[in-house]
Structure 1
Amino acid sequence: MKGENRVAMTPDSARQLQKLGYECLIEKGAGHAAGFDDAAYEAAGVTVIKTAAALWKEADIIAKVRPPTETELKRLNKGKTLISFFNPAENEKGLEIAREKGANVIAMEMVPRISRAQKMDALSSMANIAGYRAVIEAGNNFGRFFTGQVTAAGKVPPAKVLVVGAGVAGLAAIGAAVSLGAIVYAFDVRPEVAEQVESMGAEFVYLDFEDDQDGAETGGYAKPSSPEFREAQLAKFRELAPDMDIVITTALIPNQPAPILWTKDMIQSMKRGSVIVDLAAERGGNVEGTVKDEKIVTDNGVTIIGYTDFPSRMAAQASQLYATNIRHMISDLTPNKDGQIVHDMEDDVIRSATVAYQGEITFPPPPLKVQAIASKKPQAQPKELTPEEKREQELAAFRAETKQQVTLLTIGTVLMLLVGLVAPASFMQHFIVFVLSVFVGFQVIWNVSHALHTPLMAVTNAISSIIILGALMQIGSGSWLVILLAALSVFMAGINIFGGFLVTRRMLAMFQKS
């Protein structure tokens, strides 16, 4: 198709398909734009067919990237299987033609987001590339640094980037923008993704809005928000818009037009030279004024990019990922590895992705039998305390800790007095040293942060060595109880020393060059 550089089969995926028992065919020149010439396919055992019409006539399984045209659908017949992006929610005519032809059609965008189907999730594969490429396109049109710099000519502030939607594309955009040094903010209707966003170095934008509804739809996608939530969301975006240099919108709802999230008044409030990349342009766009497949510049100097071919702009990488998704789908359709399709409509993944089967339209699919990847609702964000409340909280914690220490010291004193009443004076001299050693050691070691335990291993080894020396001096005592305690001290301190040296050795080995 004109303007599409991706291809649904690469020489590597063809070799894997041949192991499943299939003979592979490809249209002449189909992989050229992605960097795979006909000679590479022929070397992989693929038969090159001169025309698309001849290919559709000869092949039993046709794999495509873009949704098929009406002409291509009319080439189908009973028994053929088409695997492609199909956009079934907005392609009623295409579904009807497939039904009339009796062909089986698998829509790659309908693969459910469950763990078993991740290897076939072409939407995620392409969204990952689109998110990364969106940042590259934004940088190309921004004309300034992403990262902040201090130079002899002055200080350059870092760019501020807002990513709307923290799905696969959004997370890829966040990763790319953070790696370039920008200050990145991200918003999503699903607050459970906040942890992922923050782990990548971005700041999650929270709404001060009480809503019991979960923003996650079945299958891991976002669902439509309530009118009240939408108004709060738009108000937050209006607040952020004047400070943002780059905005990347990725919000999509399955089988629905893209919601408008960035309105004209927000665009007008942005600084001259700012850039907006609308990754939802193919479904109408998240930005008011987006023009599909075009780049426009507004009156106030804001660039709005509505390209829909971001994965195609990285054709080699996109083709490898998509061809792998297709190969895994065909592998699941070929359980016997004999080159014969078994279209199991009882299989959750195959049933969900099938939109036409044996003369019937099977879209939309029934609910999944297995639960989609579950999303855990985060706990409510703690209320920020005032300085007075913080001081009161710290004072209460100090009082509680002091009370606990006094209680423990009182109990220890009483126990020592009881032991002193029944034990001989010689034993008490050793026992007092033992108790004080335990107390001091506990205070010294226990209050050290866990993250510092390994770096302080040498210090703890030194302390253990002192313990061993003290224990060896006590072993010569005539009391059997002192001898027993001293022997146990030698044993446990020895474990600590040798274990400490072993851990330290392993840590040092990690930093040695191979």
Structure 2
Amino acid sequence: MIRVLVPRERQPGETRVAATPETVKRLRGRGCSVWLERQAGLRSGYADEAYAEAGAELFHGEGPEAAERWAEADVVLAVQTPGAPGAEAAAAGLEALRPEALLLGLLNPHGDHSLIERLERQRLSAVALELLPRISRAQAMDVLSSQANIAGYKAVLLAAAALDRFFPMLMTAAGTVQPARVVVLGAGVAGLQAVATARRLGALVKVSDVRPAAREQVESLGARFIEPPRLEESPGEVGGYAREAGAVFLEAQRQLLAPHLAEADVVITTAQVPGRPAPLLITREMLGLLRPGAVVVDLAVGQGGNCAGSRSDATVDVDGVTVIGAGNLPASLPQHASALYARNLAALLEVLIQEGELRLDPEDPLLDPCLLSHAGVCRRDDLRPARSGQEVAA
């Protein structure tokens, strides 16, 4: 029987959990035993009793019991890397896992420079869910999309709460109130969800994206598409992810955005490139184009930000413009975020379980990009600290 361990997340601000009572039942149906640290789901709205009813075995996170569970686990399901730098001290973690155990989670392979060395030292296998390929087989496992949906939705709510006016058009005895004007930068999953949410609230929405093909999706949601610069060299995308834009393209894009920013009440930025700093789409000078009282929500702040002056998990005032650095919005809606994330993990693990055994095929196109190490053998030398500044092909 495959022994699956689910720890309580200890990173500051992380409220999600990697399994829910629903997915515990799914995994048990595939012949797994599930060990869950007590109160692991409490901040996500899932009580220990619900897990126990679903068939999970609960254990205390400290002391000999925790060490024993970690030492015997075959698979660890986590949101973030257990025991990562900056995390609250845990009684057990990667160092307690037996060789060849498997870790599944959002492991931050581009930012955690000690990760590869820790995996090698413990001879562990690890799948970084950020690096899952965007192929049809992986759709049910795509954690970036499920969590980005939540981020795009919550970004609009934050903007609406901070804005000094209504979102919808209102007709009152005192006259008509015109709808808010929203500009969304980036038409990926988060951007499209932001468009849909802003439209449901009654705003007029414009969208900018480097891919001309995004027009159809944008217009299907009732928004207006801002055409990207027409240059010979455009970033496009690879493997379902946007590629980094060059300096010439970025400057041309900023010039195109300027008149739209001057009319905007809200700007939501979502542009990110895997393993690279986020492109700076709104410079300090461009912020001056926005009216006092306007709001910018920067969803790319964790990668450096799309907006000058944004700070992670902070709200700053720049000459009357409110700039919100939204670092980990999925954790602000932990119950649904956990439910979706846990389903993604369960779907992946179900694929890896064959005839009652855990089987990792490094040559499988599903695993090849995201299997960081296999039984302690590093498969992504490009993610080692010595080369962390180089571009990687995720």
Report the TM-score, using the length of structure 1 for normalisation.
0.68
Contact 2:235–2:246 under 8 Å retained in 1: no
Contact 2:196–2:221 under 8 Å retained in 1: yes
Separation (CA, whole Å) in 2 of partners of 1:135 and 1:58? 44
Is structure 2 residue 214 aligned with structure 1 residue 197? no
Separation (CA, whole Å) in 1 of partners of 2:31 and 2:40? 23
**Equivalent position SS for 1:162:** strand
Of 333, 342, 353, 1:323 maps to 342
Cα shift at 1:93: 1.1
Separation (CA, whole Å) in 1 of partners of 2:219 and 2:381? 36
Separation (CA, whole Å) in 2 of partners of 1:162 and 1:277? 11
Contact 2:18–2:79 under 8 Å retained in 1: yes
Separation (CA, whole Å) in 2 of partners of 1:94 and 1:180? 42
Of 221, 245, 263, 1:225 maps to 245
Of 184, 191, 212, 1:163 maps to 184
Residue 29 of structure 2 is matched in structure 1 by 19
Is structure 2 residue 56 aligned with structure 1 residue 39? no
Residue 389 of structure 1 is matched in structure 2 by none
Residue 353 of structure 2 is matched in structure 1 by 334
Separation (CA, whole Å) in 2 of partners of 1:297 and 1:107? 36
Matches within 5 A, 1:91-170: 91-170=112-191
Deviation per residue, 1:349-394 (Å, 9 max, x gap):
12221111122221268xxxxxxxxxxxxxxxxxxxxxxxxxxxxx
Of 240, 243, 261, 2:263 maps to 243
Residue 362 of structure 1 is matched in structure 2 by 379
Separation (CA, whole Å) in 1 of partners of 2:253 and 2:205? 18
Contact 1:79–1:103 under 8 Å retained in 2: yes
Matches within 5 A, 1:247-396: 247-298=267-318, 300-336=319-355, 338=356, 340-363=357-380
Separation (CA, whole Å) in 1 of partners of 2:103 and 2:323? 35
Separation (CA, whole Å) in 1 of partners of 2:379 and 2:236? 25
Cα shift at 1:6: 0.7
* Greater strand content: 2
Separation (CA, whole Å) in 2 of partners of 1:32 and 1:351? 34
* Greater helix content: 1
Unaligned residue ranges in structure 2 (runs of 5+): 1-9, 383-394
Deviation per residue, 1:128-173 (Å, 9 max, x gap):
1100010011111113211111211122111000000000000000
Residue 62 of structure 1 is matched in structure 2 by 76
Q: Which amino acid aligns with 1:199?
A: S
Matches within 5 A, 1:415-434: none
Cα shift at 1:212: 3.7
Separation (CA, whole Å) in 1 of partners of 2:134 and 2:259? 34
Structure 1 window deviating more from structure 2 (266-275 vs 210-219): it is: 210-219
Structure 1 vs Structure 2 CA RMSD: 1.7
Q: Which amino acid aligns with 2:196?
A: G
Separation (CA, whole Å) in 2 of partners of 1:143 and 1:364? 49
Separation (CA, whole Å) in 1 of partners of 2:126 and 2:252? 41
**Equivalent position SS for 1:23:** strand
Separation (CA, whole Å) in 1 of partners of 2:307 and 2:120? 36
Deviation per residue, 1:398-441 (Å, 9 max, x gap):
xxxxxxxxxxxxxxxxxxxxxxxxxxxxxxxxxxxxxxxxxxxx
Structure 1 window deviating more from structure 2 (67-76 vs 115-124): it is: 67-76
Separation (CA, whole Å) in 2 of partners of 1:217 and 1:237? 21
Residue 388 of structure 2 is matched in structure 1 by none
Separation (CA, whole Å) in 1 of partners of 2:94 and 2:306? 31
Separation (CA, whole Å) in 2 of partners of 1:181 and 1:118? 31
Contact 1:76–1:98 under 8 Å retained in 2: no
Separation (CA, whole Å) in 2 of partners of 1:58 and 1:248? 45
Separation (CA, whole Å) in 1 of partners of 2:19 and 2:240? 28
Separation (CA, whole Å) in 2 of partners of 1:161 and 1:345? 44
Cα shift at 1:214: 5.2
Residue 385 of structure 2 is matched in structure 1 by none
Is structure 2 residue 109 aligned with structure 1 residue 88? yes
Number of aligned positions between the proteins: 362
Contact 1:177–1:184 under 8 Å retained in 2: yes
Cα shift at 1:287: 0.8
Is structure 2 residue 205 aligned with structure 1 residue 188? no
Q: Which amino acid aligns with 1:309?
A: N
Report the TM-score, using the length of structure 2 for normalisation.
0.88
Separation (CA, whole Å) in 1 of partners of 2:20 and 2:224? 39
**Equivalent position SS for 1:349:** coil
Cα shift at 1:196: 0.5
Contact 2:312–2:327 under 8 Å retained in 1: yes
Contact 1:73–1:94 under 8 Å retained in 2: no
**Equivalent position SS for 2:99:** coil
Q: Which amino acid aligns with 1:343?
A: L
Separation (CA, whole Å) in 1 of partners of 2:245 and 2:295? 26
